[in-house]
Amino acid sequence: MDGYALLSQGLEIVLALLLAPLLGGWVTQCRAWLLNRRGPGLLQPYRTLHKLFVKESVVAEQASRIFRAAPYVVFGCMLLASAIVPTLSAELPLSRAADAIALVGLFALARVFISLAAMDIGTAFGTLGARREMLVGFLAEPALLMVLFSASLISGSTSLSATVGTLARSEFAIHPAMAFAGIAFTMVSLAENARVPVDNPTTHLELTMIHEALILEYSGRHLALIEWAASLKLFAYSCIGLALFFPWGVALGGSPVELLWALPALLVKLAIGGAALALLETLSAKMRVFRVPEFLATAFLLAVIGMLVHILLRG
Amino acid sequence: MPADVSPLFLQFVNLLGAVLLLLAFAMLSQRRILSLVHLFTMQGAVLVLATIVVGYVTAQPHLFVSALLTFALKVVLIPLLLHRVVARLDVRWDVEPLLNIPTTMLVGIALVIFAFYLGAPIAQLSSSVARGTLGIALASVLLSFLMTITRTKAVAQVIGFLALENGLFFAATSATYGMPMVVELGIALDVLVGSLILGVFMFQIREQFDSLDIHHLEKLKEE
A293 to chain B: which residues are within 8 Å by CB? 102
Residue A290, classified by CB atoms within 10 Å of its CB into exposed (0-12), middle (13-18) or buried (19+), is exposed
Tell me how close the Cα of A103 comes to any Cα of chain B, in angstroms: 27
In a domain? residue B128: yes
B126/B154: higher pLDDT: B154
Overall domain count for chain B: 1
Q: What's the pLDDT at A156?
A: 83
Is there a contact between A305 and B12 if contact means CB atoms under 8 Å apart? no
Q: Which residues have CB under 8 Å from A162's CB, separation 6+?
A: A90, A155
Tell me how close the Cα of A309 comes to any Cα of chain B, in angstroms: 7
With CA atoms as reference, the chain A residue closest to B108 would be A301
Is there a contact between B109 and A309 if contact means CB atoms under 8 Å apart? no
Give the pLDDT of chain A (315 residues) as one tens digit per residue: 577 888 888 888 999 999 999 999 999 999 999 999 998 889 999 999 999 999 999 998 888 999 999 999 999 999 999 988 888 877 778 777 778 899 999 999 999 999 999 999 888 889 999 999 999 999 999 999 999 998 888 888 888 888 888 887 776 677 788 888 999 999 999 999 988 888 887 777 777 788 888 888 899 999 999 999 999 999 999 999 998 888 877 777 667 777 888 888 899 999 999 999 999 999 988 888 888 888 898 899 889 988 888 888 775
Instruction: Report the 10 Å Cβ neighbour count for B59.
Output: 9
Distances (CA, A) of B62 to B83, B102, B172, B180, B189: 30, 41, 13, 9, 17
With CA atoms as reference, the chain A residue closest to B115 would be A312
Is there a contact between B102 and A294 if contact means CB atoms under 8 Å apart? yes
Tell me how close the Cα of B75 comes to any Cα of chain A, in angstroms: 23
Backbone phi, then psi, for B153, in 5-degree steps? -85, 140
Burial A103-124 (b: 16+ CB within 10 A, else e): bbbbbbbbbbbbbbbbbbbebe
In a domain? residue B1: no
Taking any CB pair shorter than 8 Å as contact, residues of chain B touching chain A are 7-8, 11-12, 14-15, 17-19, 21-22, 25, 29, 101-102, 105-106, 108-109, 112-113, 116, 119-120, 132-133, 135-136
In a domain? residue B2: no
Q: What's the pLDDT at A315?
A: 57
Host domain of residue B102: 7-222
With CA atoms as reference, the chain B residue closest to A180 would be B22
With CA atoms as reference, the chain B residue closest to A173 would be B8
Is there a contact between A315 and B22 if contact means CB atoms under 8 Å apart? no
pLDDT band, residue B1 (cuts 50/70/90): very low
In a domain? residue B212: yes
In a domain? residue B192: yes
Helix pair angle (B101-125, A292-314), 10° resolution: 10
Size of chain B in residues: 223
* Residues A191-194: contacts with CB under 8 Å, at least 24 apart: A191/A136, A191/A139, A191/A140, A191/A292, A191/A295, A191/A296, A191/A299, A192/A107, A192/A136, A192/A137, A192/A140, A192/A144, A192/A233, A192/A237, A193/A230, A193/A233, A193/A234, A193/A237, A194/A230
In a domain? residue B210: yes
In a domain? residue B43: yes
In a domain? residue B91: yes
Q: What is the pTM of this model?
A: 0.86
d(C-alpha B75, C-alpha B125), whole Å: 32
pLDDT band, residue B128 (cuts 50/70/90): low
